[in-house]
């Protein structure tokens, strides 16, 4: 029988040079307690000299330890199927890493119900996972939840919308300031000077303040006068949106461009078609089925996308990298600001 070749630069060689046991070397490599500082420094110096790279994945395959990741996101609703994208990314990442002892459990909450978020957040805390992927639609409640996680040494990655208090957390998602800045540039490019602009937020949750700031800063920075009307619609069902827009357009027929700050732009498109209002530049977010329908017909002119599926995928992989591989987490990972039209959307993937 052929004798197995001995690895000259493995754990055994490190232990021999340091004159310690293999178990001691293993504790240093995996940053566990039970080793004196002097011995730890000696072993780390030998590891550095040898340029030793431990086979972490092999160790994970041999280990019986399971890392628990909890996902706290909204469920897909009749009003918007936006969260189908991040969920696909989460499931894709889970399929890739589950063999390394990673368990992913998803907790869904109603994006129109703060109490459902609080209820699900309590379930997550009770589960005591190693890491959490969080969508902080309800900022105040999400901040409290994130602080509770940090107190229990639970790693948190936030997607889609940053928390107002983002300190110590990882964020993967759009830079909302520059995204809104880009939208303002599209409106400036696509409409006549001094046209009336509607800045429209359709959401139960509070809007990120950076969105409005970025939008208005574009005109300020470029010395352009902009007649901007701001409207926030908190009741997001189609009837409520139509009612409030009907009232507004009856009073301000001169509106020539609309920027919708989220994915509910199809509700505005439906109103424009039903009301027979044409020649209005309409911009919103995300390649959703309803949005694409109005993009194809030309009612929606531009959709801005921040790759929601990729956000979900990267968030899970980031937690995997830090929990299993011991990698440092980048505090900010901004997604690209992609401009989608009726002519290029078929070539685009979220």
Domain shared by 202 and 298, yes or no: yes
Question: Cα–Cα distance between 157 and 326 in angstroms, integer?
Answer: 15
Residue 160 lies in a domain: yes
Q: Are 235 and 158 part of one and the same domain?
A: no
- The answer to whether residues 182 and 163 belong to one domain is no
Is the predicted pLDDT of residue 56 greater than 70, yes or no?
Answer: no
CA distance 324 to 71: 17
Q: Which residue has the higher pLDDT, 276 or 53?
A: 276
Closest to 74 in 3D by CA, of 105, 103, 107? 107
For residues 177 and 59, the model is more confident at 177
Mean pLDDT lowest among 25-29, 83-87, 144-148, 313-317 = 25-29
CATH number (domain holding residue 271): 3.40.50.2300
pLDDT in tens, 203-235: 987 788 899 999 999 999 999 989 999 999 999
- Work out how many domains the chain is built from and give that number: 2
Read off the pLDDT of each residue in 8-25 and give the average, rounded to a whole number: 81
Is residue 233 domain-shared with residue 267, that is, in the same domain? yes
Q: What was the pLDDT predicted at 8?
A: 43
Same-domain pairing of 85 and 160: yes
Same domain for 155 and 198, yes or no, is: no
Residues 166 and 313 in one domain: yes
Strand partners for 256: none
Specify whether 201 is located in the same domain as 263. yes
Do 319 and 267 reside in the same domain of the chain? no
User: Domain of 324?
Assistant: 67-174+308-336
pLDDT value of position 6: 40
Instruction: Answer for the pair 90, 316: CB distance below 8 angstroms, yes or no.
Output: yes
In percent, the amount of the chain with pLDDT more than 70 equals 93
Q: Are residues 180 and 195 in the same domain?
A: yes
This model's pTM is above 0.85: no
Give alpha helix (H) positions in the chain.
11-18, 22-29, 37-50, 56-62, 84-97, 114-127, 139-151, 176-190, 209-221, 238-251, 265-275, 289-297, 308-323
Q: CB-based contacts of 183: which residues, under 8 Å, 6+ apart?
A: 215, 259, 283, 302, 304
Does 327 have pLDDT greater than 80?
no
Q: Is 38 domain-assigned?
A: no
Q: Is 346 in a helix, a strand, or coil?
A: helix
244 in a domain, yes or no? Answer: yes
What is the distance between the alpha carbons of residues 70 and 233, in angstroms, rounded to a whole number? 32
Residue 162 lies in a domain: yes
């Amino acid at each position: 029988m052929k004798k197995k070749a001995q690895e000259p630069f493995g754990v055994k060689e490190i232990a021999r040079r340091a004159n310690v046991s293999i178990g001691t070397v293993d504790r240093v490599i995996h940053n566990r307690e039970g080793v004196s500082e002097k011995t730890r420094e000696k072993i780390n110096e030998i590891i550095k000299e040898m340029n030793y790279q431990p086979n972490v994945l092999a160790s994970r395959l041999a280990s019986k330890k399971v890392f628990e990741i909890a996902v706290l996101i909204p469920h897909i609703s009749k009003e918007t199927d936006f969260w189908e994208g991040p969920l696909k990314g989460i499931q894709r990442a889970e399929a890739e890493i589950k063999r390394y002892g990673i368990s992913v459990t998803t907790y869904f909450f109603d994006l129109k119900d703060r109490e459902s978020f609080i209820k699900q957040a309590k379930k997550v805390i009770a589960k005591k996972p190693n890491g959490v992927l969080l969508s902080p639609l309800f900022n105040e409640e999400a901040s409290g939840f994130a602080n509770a996680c940090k107190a229990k040494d639970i790693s948190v990655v936030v997607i889609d919308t940053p928390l107002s208090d983002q300190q110590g957390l990882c964020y993967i998602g759009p830079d909302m300031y520059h995204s809104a800045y880009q939208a303002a540039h599209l409106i400036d490019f696509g409409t006549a000077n001094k046209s009336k602009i509607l800045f429209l937020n359709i959401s139960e949750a509070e809007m990120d303040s950076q969105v409005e700031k970025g939008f208005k800063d574009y005109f300020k920075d470029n010395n352009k006068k902009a007649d901007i009307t701001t409207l926030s619609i908190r009741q997001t069902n189609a009837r409520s949106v139509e009612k409030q827009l009907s009232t507004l357009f009856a009073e301000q027929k001169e509106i020539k461009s609309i920027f919708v700050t989220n994915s509910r732009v199809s509700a505005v498109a439906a109103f424009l078609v039903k009301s027979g209002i044409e020649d209005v530049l309409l911009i919103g977010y995300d390649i959703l089925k309803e949005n694409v329908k109005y993009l194809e017909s030309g009612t929606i002119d531009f959709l801005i996308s921040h790759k929601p599926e990729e956000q979900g995928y990267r968030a899970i992989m980031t937690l995997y990298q830090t929990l299993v591989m011991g990698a440092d987490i980048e505090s900010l990972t901004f997604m690209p600001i992609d401009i989608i039209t009726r002519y290029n959307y078929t070539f685009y993937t979220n």
